[in-house]
Amino acid sequence: MTAPLIDPFQRRIDYLRVSVTDRCDFRCVYCMAENMTFLPKKELLTLEELDRMCSSFVGLGVRKLRITGGEPLVRRDIMTFFDGMKRHLDSGALDEMTITTNGSQLARFADALYAAGIRRINVSLDTLDEEKFARVTRWGRLPQVLKGIDAAQAAGIHVKINAVALKGFNEDELLPMTEWCAARGMDLTWIEVMPMGDIGNEDRLGQYWSLKDVRSALAQHYTVTDLPDRTGGPARYVRLEETGQRIGFITPLSHNFCESCNRVRLTCTGELYMCLGQEDMADLRAPLRDFPGDDRALDNAIRAAIALKPKGHDFDYSRQRLDGQMPRHMSHTGG
């Protein structure tokens, strides 16, 4: 049981992304419908169960844990989970625990997160224009997010900005966002919009802005140098020589990154998705709850799931239709 988690394509799985809630205080137009129906709270794993689940993965060789949602910081008493998982950082069993957040609650939690061992976070932020921010998030307030970023940096947490590239929406903010991040010492990663879930009347084909075009636009203003950096995620990186900052590109559509995939995703209900872009999943809640005092069944279920991890996903916009669209929302699987 001490052997590492190796999938059928000889990829070592050492990175777990965990959605601790499907709820969010925003309703971003590429992520959710405006009137979402969320899971009943009784279906969610308790914080104690999430701790036990994550600890089993750490025991099987997972070295990096990313906590996501929904918005993870809206889950009640979430700091008890972070405080508990810190023991794996202290022991050296876990290299890193990070968070992806919309930033809305950071002003409240930044100091506590640092005390729990969080040293890096990703903040999802697609625009610096207050009116556009309200439009893309439907419910969001930009000043609240900016205050949260200030608090995180003041607490000593390194902040990276994640921006979804949306055609006709934030194309004109490519340079301003780059310069704003550079001035604050923050890296910036651009993400292609992914076909996940029914988002109502929004047009995903109309939203799609290829990151090939983003890179070309940057190259007209900066000297762009490719970097070999890998952070355990799907991004490929460049350095802008004039600012010294690192720019990442996550390209599930224009460049498949599956060959180096080292991660799986756990939902807040205990479903393990071996691939973001496939529907295959394993139910880990049953072995977790059926054997409350014995983790062997859970460990065996995790190993069996990893043995079914597919080679890659099916996202494709090339034929101008939503091939490979996943019916579940990103907030269900974890952003």
| Average pLDDT of the residues in 277-286 | 86
Whether residue 271 lies inside any domain: the answer is yes
- Tell me what pLDDT residue 308 has: 93
Please check if 100 is assigned to a binding site: yes
In the numeric block, which tokens belong to residue 67?
A: 């906590």
| Number of structural domains the chain divides into | 1
Please check if 41 is assigned to a binding site: no
Confidence of residue 86 (pLDDT cuts 50, 70, 90): very high
| Average pLDDT of the residues in 139-149 | 96
Please check if 54 is assigned to a binding site: no
> Is 164:126 a contact under the CB 8 Å cutoff?
yes
When mean pLDDT is compared across 33-37, 201-205, 252-256, the lowest value belongs to 201-205
> Which residues are CB-neighbours of 330 under 8 A, at least 6 positions away?
31, 194, 196, 197
Whether residue 228 lies inside any domain: the answer is yes
- Tell me what pLDDT residue 229 has: 80
Whether residue 100 lies inside any domain: the answer is yes
> Is 222:179 a contact under the CB 8 Å cutoff?
no
> Which residues are CB-neighbours of 283 under 8 A, at least 6 positions away?
270, 271, 272
- Tell me what pLDDT residue 199 has: 41
For 97, the domain range is 15-333
Whether residue 225 lies inside any domain: the answer is yes
Whether residue 3 lies inside any domain: the answer is no
Whether residue 289 lies inside any domain: the answer is yes
Q: Name the pairing type of β-strands 158-165 and 120-124.
A: parallel
Please check if 17 is assigned to a binding site: yes
The yes-or-no verdict on residue 253 having pLDDT over 60 is: no
> How much of the chain, in percent, has pLDDT values that exceed 70?
85
Please check if 273 is assigned to a binding site: no
Q: How many CB atoms lie within 10 A of CB 182?
A: 18
Please check if 181 is assigned to a binding site: no
Please check if 2 is assigned to a binding site: no
Residue-wise pLDDT tens digits, 48-64: 999 999 999 999 999 99
Please check if 70 is assigned to a binding site: yes
Q: How many CB atoms lie within 10 A of CB 258?
A: 16
Burial 109-128 (b: 16+ CB within 10 A, else e): bbeebeebbbebbbbbbbbb
The yes-or-no verdict on residue 332 having pLDDT over 70 is: no
- For residue 267, CA distances in Å to 38, 127, 166, 213, 334 come to 13, 28, 26, 33, 7
Please check if 53 is assigned to a binding site: no
Please check if 268 is assigned to a binding site: no
Please check if 138 is assigned to a binding site: no
Please check if 160 is assigned to a binding site: yes
Q: Report the distance separating Cα 238 and Cα 229, nearest Å.
A: 9
What CATH code is carried by the domain that includes residue 198? 3.20.20.70
Please check if 31 is assigned to a binding site: yes
Q: Report the distance separating Cα 205 and Cα 185, nearest Å.
A: 33
The yes-or-no verdict on residue 30 having pLDDT over 90 is: no
In the numeric block, which tokens belong to residue 6?
A: 């190796």
Whether residue 2 lies inside any domain: the answer is no
Please check if 87 is assigned to a binding site: no
Please check if 66 is assigned to a binding site: yes
Q: Report the distance separating Cα 121 and Cα 130, nearest Å.
A: 22
